[in-house]
Amino acid sequence: MLKINSFGKSDAGLRRSNNEDALVLKPELGLWAVADGMGGAAAGEVASQIFTETSVEIFSKGQGHSYQEKLAMVQSAFRLANERILQHVKENQRHQGMGCTAELIAFQDQTYILGHVGDSRTYLLRQGKLRQMTRDHSVVQDQIDQGLITPQEARKHSLKNIILRAVGVEEALAVDFIRGKVMPGDLFLLCSDGLTDMVDDPFIEETISLPLMLPQKVQKLIELAKAAGGYDNITAILCEVMANP
């Protein structure tokens, strides 16, 4: 049985009066998720809440004894949350335009299963090296991929907040599913763009590599984002794969 040590925290940041991010830490269900609501007055926090509550519901009902069952649960969480947000908007027209980005990770045996939509991110720190596992579904990422702008230019780009995929915006939702084998000592970071817009990857790598407990690492990440301006809500979850005794 895989043992995962985890900790997560969400902070409103320094410029926003409300927190549209939501997070789930349910080790007993094998579920960890971050959702970042969008829509501002269009109730982004409602969208992120629908995603996290739907994920907990699916994982509470599911057995997930095999890899295929666990993958089906991850897929169902995104599909059902997408349907529920769309339905909410139909019934509450003033919330037109709301949705959320989402990261959801689950573990089965020696495997991780990650679902990703939007510009929240998941990273993996393995053997001292940090790797971004997800690709942002955003206008500026497309421009980076085409060689039109550099990652540095993207940080200050006027279109940097325009995302191309979100949960609860269209009936057909395309989700990136990423899977692979875990190794003892692997450290997964799920976070909203309130962290990554403020803190460069080398500083994230340096911070989560420190010989600290997970709560201290998460707090340091949030403090770094705030020190850089804290313009957005900041949410981070760390999941550490423990070596079997």
pLDDT digits (tens, 9 = 90+) for 88-105: 999 998 898 899 999 999
**Torsion from C-alpha of 130, 242, 76, 177, nearest 10 degrees:** 30
The answer, as to whether pTM is greater than 0.85, is yes
Give SS3 for 199: coil
Answer yes or no: are the C-beta atoms of 240 and 169 closer than 8 Å: no
**Tokens in use for 129?**
């090296």
Q: Phi then psi for 46, rounded to 5 degrees?
A: -70, -45
The pLDDT of residue 59 is 96
Give all strands of the β-sheet with 129-132 in edge-to-edge order.
3-11, 234-242, 187-191, 121-126, 129-132
pLDDT digits (tens, 9 = 90+) for 154-206: 777 777 778 999 999 999 999 999 999 999 999 999 999 999 999 999 999 99
Q: Which amino acid is at 219?
A: Q
Q: Which of 57, 85, 228 is nearest to 167 (CA)?
A: 85
Listing DSSP states for 108-144 in one string gives: ETTEEEEEEESS-EEEEEETTEEEE-S---BHHHHHH
For 57, counting Cβ atoms within 10 Å of its Cβ (0-12 exposed, 13-18 middle, 19+ buried), the class is middle
The pLDDT of residue 156 is 75
Q: Which domains does the chain have, with CATH numbers?
A: 3-242 (3.60.40.10)
Rounded CA-CA distance 39/95 in Å is: 8
Rounded CA-CA distance 72/58 in Å is: 10
List the beta bridge partners of residue 121.
191
The pLDDT of residue 69 is 93
Q: Which of 58, 64, 105, 48 is nearest to 79 (CA)?
A: 58
Rounded CA-CA distance 230/63 in Å is: 40
For 174, counting Cβ atoms within 10 Å of its Cβ (0-12 exposed, 13-18 middle, 19+ buried), the class is exposed
Q: Which of 119, 121, 117 is nearest to 170 (CA)?
A: 117
Q: Tell me what percent of the chain is helix, strand and coil, each rounded to the nearest 5.
A: 35, 30, 35
User: Tokens 């900041």, residue?
Assistant: 234
Rounded CA-CA distance 201/169 in Å is: 29
Q: Phi then psi for 83, rounded to 5 degrees?
A: -65, -40
The pLDDT of residue 131 is 98
pLDDT less than 70: residues of the chain: 1, 40-42, 245
